[in-house]
């Protein structure tokens, strides 16, 4: 293993270089269309060899952050993050309208289980109460943009899983249960590294970051309808309050 690949603080040098260049872009030091410094200059700046710099650039190219042009150098491509609005009235499809050509929801799996303390608390149930749990993700223009785990009271929504597969819209499923309207009671936002399953399902590079939103939706009477744990790839999404 060469020096260039050695881990400093557990993060390989090529990843640190990729992070630094990405930050320059996100921070506005490098704008869309700008030419990056040459490999030789980047190698000097980061005290790295050119092989390591090339690896960092390859990662950024794969992410769509930069693009190499034959004989001309490497250029910045704007990082297009989708903005997902969070408010009293939070609707996934509405919130992203106009930001993506196609937006699809994919049901991955579902099961009926007993509520853990955390799920029970969020839904105002006793721990151990039967809940429906669904695993799903959403894809914008072919790119995964979220991965959700959602719990709902089984008693009220016994066949939620079948209906969401058919209708692919939470709002429509709630309407089918005669819930005219619903709103967001609370959203808790944190961030962490993606776990193995998320890395795979969201098609992320190892070490990628997810924004995690924990959301409770309630009906007009204030009754909790669902508790959803949604992971958004930080490189593709931002949340707007």
Residue 88 CB, shortest distance to a second copy, in Å, is: 10
Query: What span, in angstroms and rounded, lies between the C-alpha atoms of 76 and 61?
Result: 9
- Structure token digits, residue 168: 């692919």
For residue 134, what is the DSSP state? E
Residue 122 CB, shortest distance to a second copy, in Å, is: 12
Q: Residue 63 in contact with residue 80, Cβ under 8 Å?
A: no
Residue 117 CB, shortest distance to a second copy, in Å, is: 8
Residue 138 CB, shortest distance to a second copy, in Å, is: 18
Q: Residues 197-207, buried b or exposed e (16+ Cβ, 10 A)?
A: ebbebbebeee
Instruction: Please report which residue ranges of the chain form alpha helices under DSSP H.
Output: 13-26, 39-45, 50-63, 92-96, 117-123, 160-167, 170-176, 196-201
Between the two ends of the chain, the Cα-to-Cα distance in Å is: 46
For a second copy, the closer CB: 125 or 173: 125
For a second copy, the closer CB: 12 or 100: 12
For a second copy, the closer CB: 73 or 85: 85
Residue 204 CB, shortest distance to a second copy, in Å, is: 10
For a second copy, the closer CB: 173 or 237: 237
- Helix, strand, or coil here: 131? strand
Question: Which residues contact a second copy (rule: CB under 8 A)?
Answer: 1, 5-12, 14-16, 19-20, 22-23, 26, 28, 59, 81, 83, 86-87, 116-118, 184, 186-193, 195-196, 205-207, 209-211, 234, 238-241
For a second copy, the closer CB: 100 or 239: 239
């Amino acid at each position: 293993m060469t020096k260039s690949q050695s881990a400093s603080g557990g993060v390989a040098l090529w990843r640190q270089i990729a992070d630094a260049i990405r930050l320059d872009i996100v921070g506005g030091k490098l704008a869309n269309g700008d030419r990056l410094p040459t490999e030789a200059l980047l190698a000097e700046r980061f005290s790295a060899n050119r092989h390591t710099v090339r690896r960092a650039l390859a990662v950024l190219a794969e992410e769509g952050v930069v693009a190499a042009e034959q004989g001309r150098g490497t250029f910045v491509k704007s990082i297009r993050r989708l903005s997902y609005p969070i408010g009293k009235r939070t609707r996934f499809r509405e919130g992203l309208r106009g930001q993506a050509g196609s937006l699809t929801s994919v049901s991955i799996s579902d099961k009926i289980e007993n509520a853990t303390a955390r799920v029970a608390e969020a839904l105002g149930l006793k721990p151990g109460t039967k809940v429906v749990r669904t695993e799903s993700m959403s894809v914008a223009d072919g790119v995964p943009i979220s991965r959700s785990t959602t719990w709902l009271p089984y008693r009220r929504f016994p066949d939620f899983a079948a209906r969401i597969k058919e209708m692919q819209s939470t709002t429509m499923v709630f309407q089918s249960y005669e819930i005219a309207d619903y709103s967001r009671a609370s959203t808790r936002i944190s961030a962490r590294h993606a776990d193995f399953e998320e890395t795979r399902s969201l098609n992320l590079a190892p070490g990628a970051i997810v924004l995690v939103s924990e959301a409770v939706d309630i009906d007009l009477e204030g009754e909790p309808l669902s508790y959803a744990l949604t992971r958004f790839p930080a490189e593709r999404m931002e949340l707007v309050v």
